[in-house]
């Protein structure tokens, strides 16, 4: 018998990411609605990667908030991969993936996920919690053959930095420090804390049989 959380207050995920949906399911939260936030994700001039992740998470949540006219909890998140201050792009093509893998090969990089949780009464009262989480990841030195092989896969397409940790990428990681779920796109420890801090009551949600 599978148990799922029966949400008392509707939860809206401001993202169409299947990975973020899966991660929420891990903490027994089933979004009532999934509303992708269509925003410009272009970094500002000289914007630091951690600031970009937080700004985009906030803008996504605020964009969805403008469409909500009832009590709800909105979760916005954005993940940015960076080497130092250099922000790696979201890989849209296999060539983008190759460029990212060549940059990441043999180096440590940072994965930042900005998290924004907003609880609204549907009118003027909003409680907002923001957090940016950093995870350090190190790739081994990749051979041309390893990069060529990885580029034949679809793992990195549409992903920040051209790689997805829940996939073949894990074979390249020699070191990781910090939250694994953060690298996937939603830091679960911080998400639970943020939800509890807006009185969502993660641990008091009744479970029902599905």
Whether 69 is a known active-site residue: answer no
Contacts of 14 (CB under 8 A, 6+ apart): 35, 36, 37, 60, 61, 63, 64, 74, 75, 76, 77
Give me the catalytic one of 38, 40, 69, 78.
Answer: 78
Closest C-alpha among 155, 159, 184, 182 to residue 168: 155
Question: What is the maximum span of the chain, computed from C-alpha positions, in angstroms?
Answer: 56
DSSP 160: B
* Structure-block tokens of residue 166: 């829940």
Catalytic residues: 78
């Amino acid at each position: 018998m599978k148990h799922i959380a029966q949400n008392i207050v509707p939860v809206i995920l401001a993202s169409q990411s299947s990975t973020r949906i899966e991660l929420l399911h891990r903490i027994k939260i089933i979004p009532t609605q999934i509303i992708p936030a269509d925003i410009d994700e272009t970094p500002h001039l000289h914007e630091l990667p951690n600031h970009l992740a937080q700004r985009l998470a906030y803008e996504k949540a605020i964009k969805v908030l403008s469409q909500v006219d009832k009590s709800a909890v909105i979760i916005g998140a954005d993940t940015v991969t960076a080497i130092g201050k250099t922000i790696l792009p979201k890989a849209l093509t296999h060539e983008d993936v190759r460029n990212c893998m060549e940059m990441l090969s043999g180096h440590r990089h940072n994965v930042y996920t900005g998290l924004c949780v907003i609880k609204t009464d549907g009118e003027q009262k909003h409680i907002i919690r923001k957090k940016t989480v950093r995870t350090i990841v190190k790739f081994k030195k990749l051979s041309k053959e390893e990069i060529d092989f990885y580029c034949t896969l679809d793992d990195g397409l549409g992903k920040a930095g051209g790689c997805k940790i829940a996939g073949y990428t894990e074979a390249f990681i020699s070191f990781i420090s910090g939250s694994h779920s953060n690298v996937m796109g939603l830091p679960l420890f911080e998400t639970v804390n943020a939800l509890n801090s807006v009185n969502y009551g993660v641990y008091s949600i009744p479970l029902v049989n599905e």
